[in-house]
Structure 1
Amino acid sequence: MPDEPTRPYPVKLCTWREIPSNHPLSAPSQYDDFIVTHINHTLDAHYTGNFQMWHRWFIYTYETALREECGYKGYQPTPPIFNGDPYSLGGNGAWDPDLPASLITLPEGVTGDPFTLPRGVGGGYVTTGPFANLTVNLGPIADLPGLGVPKNPQADGLGYNPRRVKRDLGPAINKRYANYTTVFVTDLLSKPNITEYRLLLEGGFNNGGEIGPHGGGHYTINGDPGGDLWVSPADVAFYVHHGNMDRMWTLWQAIDPVNRTVLLDDGPYGHITWNNEPPSRLMTMDDVINIGWAGPPTTMREMMSTTSGPLCYFYK
């Protein structure tokens, strides 16, 4: 979105409930600026050539704001993160016995068949931990059958629509796609090139719902907004999940840093449109990464390494 303005950097997440958004239309708070950005860039930052670089800059901007504006000294938390204690990301949603399996549909205009995924062991509101009363203000944009959350009446999902967080955490999707016991994760580091890496990470189309570790992490969280492709950053667990996505890519790059920090995807997910629909050019190292209301722009080149350019971090 070349005409999308950028906002002053950094945001003040520590007081996001009190500080108004910089978005002129609908976002109630500065935290919501991140959700607006993700909504606006869902179709050009997924299954496209900038997927990993865009999200690397997005989560880095978020964590930088936590440290520089809020005095946060730590990193993204590690397990147990969903046990509901005061230092967790809150617990699971309350058990909803009537919740059906998740029906996953692709965005309008994108080729692919809908498929179902098994439900978790929650489905209701998050009632424990520091985020028990967290409010989701935007969306939903995706269909979320069974959750009792109708789509946002505003077509772009940016209308003010406050509601409590729901989660449907459960073991089935996690064991299949998103932990180290599954071939989907253990095989990532053995992939010889970025195209094969991404096809495994993000899953293919028309493949019976083999969604890979990226989708696997999102649908392990599930619920509202976790199961909404557009609005998923409204659940703070989004940043933990994408931190691990960035970690896996960083470790893969470290196997051959000379070549893997300059290598762009030239496969079906390497273009500037989702799965190359409609047909478009491949991304280049000098393409701009725009995160709109969340922070300043950068380039693909600057996001290829976590230890050069504006970045300075690594994962254990």
Structure 2
Amino acid sequence: MFHKVKHHWRRFRPRYRRHNKRFRHRDYAVDKKHMTQPVDVAFVCSSTDFFDCVEEEVVSLLQRRPEIHALDGDIARLRKRFDRTGSPHDGAVALLAQVPCAVLAQLQMDRFPNGYSNKQERLYELIDFNDTLVATILAMDDAERVQFSGRMKQSADRICKRVGAPCFTGEQWTAIVRGLTREVAVYLAAQEYGFNVFMTDRTHDALGIDMQVQDPESGRYINIDVKTPSSFRHRMEQLVHEKRLTERELLIGDRDSYIVERNGHGDKKVEVVVLCILPDLFGDLADWRFVDPEPMREKLNQLIRDHGLHDGRFGAS
């Protein structure tokens, strides 16, 4: 009986071409001479509408059958691009790409308010989402701000449905926009009256600081945490429960529409002015601005005069 011989498989490679010329590989050394630095090519939209172009670019990042975390790998790149360009389009694209993970983080926080796995990671996802939203609004013109809330919610819902993620409920989206509207309004009012304003990063956000406002003449500044009336009351009651605020200080806070709390530990301990944006005190809001910003100017002057800091940490990370 003969043994079956297994022949080793070899890839066919022609040794000669026509006219008896040897087959040659491409010279990669020559290729390198023609290589250039990669360039971030601008996305070309088929529409002239701002929000349609934003959604179209995010959709172009998705594969044919996208998964729920399909955009996670693009978020850091898109946020860096926005930091570099400051373009409202780039900001809106980065914001829309963060929506699915922000929705999941919000749902987890709502379901387990007292703690859950990966709490810090989820918290930072929401902080990054809110920071991108505020930065995008500040980069927009007034016409784009007017349409932002409704149009961005529609785009966010469509992106979430494409990747199979839940959508922000109407209440959740309204709460986010309502809270950040006050933050943007304070920033724009301070900027309008010549204050130096610094929007904080996630490190400051974790300490409860939304922004820092500085008097350019004296150099004194305050850390501000902007609150709606309901969230301001909830925060005061929480501090009373934690024995960090007395009942008398709570009553004074109700009267003055602000309190001063101390957050952090050791060298990182900071004083934060928790400011309640009360309509009776500061008036109405329209299109992300105060209708009359004068009361806010007076309040900022008073807060800096009474609680201003001069420790060289304004604008520091």
TM over 0.5: no
TM-score under structure 2 normalisation? 0.26
Please identify which structure carries the higher helix content: 2
TM-score under structure 1 normalisation? 0.27
Higher relative contact order (CA 8 A, sep 6+): 1
